[in-house]
Amino acid sequence: MSLAEQVLEGNIRAAARLMRDIDDGRPQAIEELKQLYPRTGKAYIIGITGPPGAGKSTLVDQLTASFRKQEKKVGVVAIDPTSPFTGGAILGDRIRMNRHSCDEGVFIRSLATRGSLGGLSRSTSDVALVMDALGMDIIIIETVGVGQDEVDIVKEAHTTCVVMVPGLGDDIQAIKAGILEIGDIFVVNKADREGADRTARELSTMLDMRHPAEDRWNPKVMKTEAQRGTGIDELTSEILAHRDFFLSSGTIHDFMRQRKQRHFLSILRDTMLEKAMQYMAKSNYLEGIVTGMSAHEIDPYSAVEEIVATMMPGCID
């Protein structure tokens, strides 16, 4: 049996091997994904994002336990930062969730960013697809600690939870440029800390200033203490409320269409770049371009047009 066939039968080991092949960029993984794709689309994806130190991993651990109480099968994709010098990563998010390691209804996969920006790994979408095919009801994607404009998670998740924590200075200034616009639910974690009420109040005020249309979802601000499990059931209920709105309002249809388009374009971009690199490697073409640019004998724009015209005749007018 192929890995894809084993995954569809619920084989955890096969899913783990396929995810490894996907993350390593092995060509055989593409053939397996082709078999899985028609059998996906059932899982609900929840994104957990926010700055470093906000307690995202602990919150994901508690949410996983909460969904398991409802007998939901849960997949977790935890993104960890990669060293810009060695390329290595300590996949520490999995350590915080080790109490679920013996639960057959939970599958946790850690991924390194490997230089990708936006808070996700380049293989996030495909790994989530494997979890979907494996039969996970809920997939939680925890991003690496993000800043103001690293908000790729909103392109992947049906529900995006933005996690903040009091005591980071000007809390609102820290997120207003990007993350404030993408949250479906805002979570003030570590709510036992001084300033938590103020942070929640200021977030609510800024959200109220947006004046959402009556037929649009109005994000709420929730307070949690993930370490103690306080507020987790309420947060779970709010996530499910957003899911119900997403489904009943028909918003999910436009979202899924846009998500599929982005997924296709991402694959197309990566494939075209790989093919171009293979083409240029045949005769040290890239080295010649760089040498010509250094001597100002060639400009990069003309060089790109020449390569595209050679590889895809008719694409350049």
Express each pLDDT in 222-272 by its tens digit.
999 999 999 999 999 999 999 999 899 888 889 899 989 988 998 888 888
Q: Within the chain, which residue ranges are assigned CATH 3.40.50.300?
A: 40-249
pLDDT band of 169, cuts 50, 70, 90: low
Residues 6+ apart with CB under 8 A from 123: 19, 22, 23, 25, 111
Structure tokens at 116: 């990708």
Structure tokens at 41: 């689309």
Q: Does residue 118 carry a pLDDT above 80?
A: no
Q: Can you give the pLDDT at residue 82?
A: 64
Q: Can you give the pLDDT at residue 209?
A: 77
Q: Can you give the pLDDT at residue 212?
A: 65
Q: Can you give the pLDDT at residue 144?
A: 78
Residues 6+ apart with CB under 8 A from 135: 10, 73
Q: Does residue 66 carry a pLDDT above 60?
A: yes
- How far the first Cα of the chain sits from its last, in Å, is 48
Q: Does residue 199 carry a pLDDT above 70?
A: yes
State the average pLDDT over residues 205-226. 83
CA distance linking residue 97 with residue 244, whole number of Å: 27
What CATH number belongs to 40-249? Answer: 3.40.50.300
Q: With 0.85 as the threshold, say if the pTM is over it.
A: yes
Please compute, for residue 125, the number of CA atoms within 13 A of its CA located in the half-sphere on the CB side. 19
CA 267 to chain centre: 16
- Strand 220-223 with 106-112, pairing: unpaired
Please compute, for residue 300, the number of CA atoms within 13 A of its CA located in the half-sphere on the CB side. 4
Q: Does residue 4 carry a pLDDT above 90?
A: yes
